[in-house]
Amino acid sequence: MTGETYDVRPTPPDSTQWFDPRNPALWVFIALALPGLWLLSGSVRIAFTAYPSAATAAAVLFTAYTVPFIIVLRRLDYLEREPPVLTAMAFGWGGVVASMAAVDGGHAVQGMLAKLVSPTFAATWGPAIGPPAIEEVLKALGVVLVVLLARAHVNSTVDGFVYGAFVGLGFQVVEDFVYAVGATAWSRGGDDIAPVISTFIVRGFLTGLWSHTVFTALAGGGIAYAVVNTRLPMARRFGVAAGAVGAAIAAHALWNSPLLRDGFGFGGIGIVGALFIKGLPVFLLVWFLFSRAYRTEAAYYGEQLAQYDGTPLVRPGELTALLSYREREAARRHAQSLKGRKGTRAAQAVRRLQHLQTRLSVLSSRYPESPKWVLETLQNPPTHQWLQSERARLGGLAARRELPPARRREQLHRVAVQRCVVDLLAQRSRLEHLDLPVAVGTNQKRSPMAPWALGLAVLGVLVPGAGAFAIVAALMATRGHLPSDGLAVAAFAVGALTTTGWLLAFVLLRLGAG
């Protein structure tokens, strides 16, 4: 099969250089980012001048909150990772351009509704009408800009989800900072960080999983689908992209609407339940669509690697293990189960082997001559001495600059593939030395403690200390061997996030009281 059949278009050779001064999209980004950055820096300066403690607390909390999101997004983008500079630009578009442009637009719609309908209607339903449409369109334009900047790096629907999530995350973090400092101003209690903590708990923990990051991921997935599926009719591609942006607007509108705002009359517990009812379905929808797109991408890159199945590069069973998150972790867990330091070294070697196998599949999708270059390298016995000399030889070839440009490009492609093969053979030799010839997992039963650990982690959103118990339960479920099965890893991650959040909140409250 081909990449067209799988709706995946591999990055063409020599397309790693996305920075092109002749590209108008680059200057559009700069022209919009500079005034946006000026406006944002002015707002931040005012916040730190008026409420230094509250602004510092908000900056620390939401910066720390961003880190696990970035880690998760990078892990989800496992097979063909996006260039960090492009994901940073997507984040910057959301946090600088979209967030600053949305402020005036939202106020304008609010004023129009007050004049056309009534001030009461504008106050009640305005947040569900103006901001969703304006903000989601502005954020979706960030994904479009990435496409215009580096079309070659948007080669699957998965990429659209990733870039959209980074745009939404940037917007979300800046908006949360503004709301947190604004809560301090509205409380009229001076430079108090208690409103910041409350905002962090509500907007970070209770609503963070189904906020702007998820909305824009949905829109980005639709845009990438339209960009990649060139074999489909234009009307269908445009319809999917427009439908995805429309769905993001609708989800945002439902979230901002006054529906279920009273929590069914059950107070705080009812309000939390209403937040889950309004937000969880959107999160599950995006996860379902992303999973389908990921399986398509995995099938494509799996086919690229299948041509080496049965060689020292890919042993039987490893291909299946590589393409599934659960199977990848099972293989690492099995390696970790070896006694003592041997297990740690084996797990590291398996992780490195899997990364190299993924890289080989991506390189094979880009360079049609890859199988020939791989076969040439495999003809030599992979002794330690040969691996060392081959690395040196390939390094010398990469450093040669006297060749004509076309020949040099071909040589660099060949060196990249063969260097990957050499590194793979080295990791294979290391695993065989550790008595682990095949990097696959075993049919180990999941510990019954893992679901309980995840439940404790979720409870940690509302109950201080529950997240710490979740961490302990996750470690017990995996006997201290992390990363482990998906539930235990999720429990550990959520437990660590909630525990860190509550600890930061406690420390900042103590500092504020002092």
Measured CA to CA, the distance from residue 203 to residue 177 in angstroms comes to 10
The closest alpha carbon to 469, from 442, 444, 449, belongs to: 449
399 against 101, higher pLDDT: 101
**In this predicted structure, what is the pLDDT of residue 98?**
95
Each residue of 363-381: b (16+ CB within 10 Å) or e? bbbbbeebeebbeebeeee
Q: In percent, how much of the chain has pLDDT > 90?
A: 41
Residue 63: Cβ within 10 Å count: 11
Contact 223, 237 (CB under 8 A): no
Report the DSSP beta bridge partners of residue 154.
none
Q: For the CA atoms of 203, 128, 167, 235, what is the dihedral angle to 10 degrees?
A: 150
CA distance 121 to 109: 12
From 15-24, 31-40, 376-385, 487-496, the region with the lowest mean pLDDT: 15-24
Give the HSE-up count for residue 36: Cα atoms under 13 Å, Cβ half-sphere: 22
Dist CA 287 CA 291 (whole Å): 6
> Token pair for residue 353?
């082997």
User: Given this model, what pLDDT does residue 28 score?
Assistant: 93
Distance CA 325, CA 295 (A): 11
Q: Which residue has the higher pLDDT, 284 or 460?
A: 284
Residue 401, CB half-sphere, CA atoms under 13 Å: how many?
Answer: 1
The pLDDT score that the predictor gives to residue 3 is: 41
Report in angstroms the alpha-carbon separations of 147 from 73, 174, 326: 19, 24, 31
pLDDT of residue 258: 87
Average pLDDT for the chain? 85
3-class DSSP state of 435: coil
Torsion angle of the four alpha carbons 81, 83, 85, 90, in this order, in degrees rounded to the nearest 10: -60
Single-letter amino acid code for the residue at 152: A
What ranges do the domains of the chain cover? 24-297, 307-433, 449-513
CB 273, CB 264: distance < 8 Å: yes
pLDDT bin (cut points 50, 70, 90) of residue 445 is low
pLDDT tens, 281-338?
A: 898 899 899 999 999 999 999 999 999 988 899 998 888 888 888 788 888 888 888 8
Which alpha helices (DSSP H) does 150-266 contain, by range? Answer: 157-187, 194-199, 212-228, 234-256
Task: Please measure the distance between the N-terminal and C-terminal CA atoms of the chain and give it in whole angstroms.
Answer: 66
pLDDT band at 44 (very low <50, low <70, confident <90, very high): very high
What's the pLDDT at 4? 44
**Cα distances (angstroms) measured from residue 303 to each of 209, 231, 292, 296, 364:** 34, 20, 17, 11, 10
DSSP string, 98-167: IHHHHHHHHHHHHHHHHHHT-HHHHHHHHHHHHHHHHHHHHHHHHHHHHHHH-GGG--SHHHHHHHHHHH
How many whole angstroms separate alpha carbon 264 and alpha carbon 202?
18
